[in-house]
């Protein structure tokens, strides 16, 4: 679905020139499909945050304390 849009990090929310929004307007994409895509994206973002936090934690604990 993201490949349908010119923006790689588009939320397909109110970005001008968003191809997905254009298709939604035209009726070729259902609002339900867009909503489910957004939920999936939110979950992926949460997973990203979690992995990043874990990486930072590993980085902190992997080094000797400065003081
Ligand atoms: Zn878009």
Q: What averages of pLDDT result for each successive group of 10 residues across the chain (67 residues)?
A: 73 88 92 91 94 93 71
Q: Which whole-number Å values give the CA distances from 52 to 19, 56, 60, in the listed order?
A: 30, 6, 12
CA of 52 to the centre of ligand 1 (A): 25
pLDDT value at residue 64: 67
* Domains of the chain as residue ranges with CATH: 2-62 (1.10.40)
pLDDT value at residue 44: 93
CA of 27 to the centre of ligand 1 (A): 15
CA of 18 to the centre of ligand 1 (A): 4
CA of 47 to the centre of ligand 1 (A): 21
CA of 46 to the centre of ligand 1 (A): 20
């Amino acid at each position: 679905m993201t490949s349908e849009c010119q923006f790689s990090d588009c939320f397909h929310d109110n970005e001008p020139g968003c191809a997905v929004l254009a298709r939604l307007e035209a009726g070729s994409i259902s609002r339900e499909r867009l909503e489910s895509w957004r939920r999936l994206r939110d979950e992926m973002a949460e997973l990203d945050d979690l992995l990043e936090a874990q990486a930072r934690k590993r980085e902190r604990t992997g080094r000797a304390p400065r003081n």
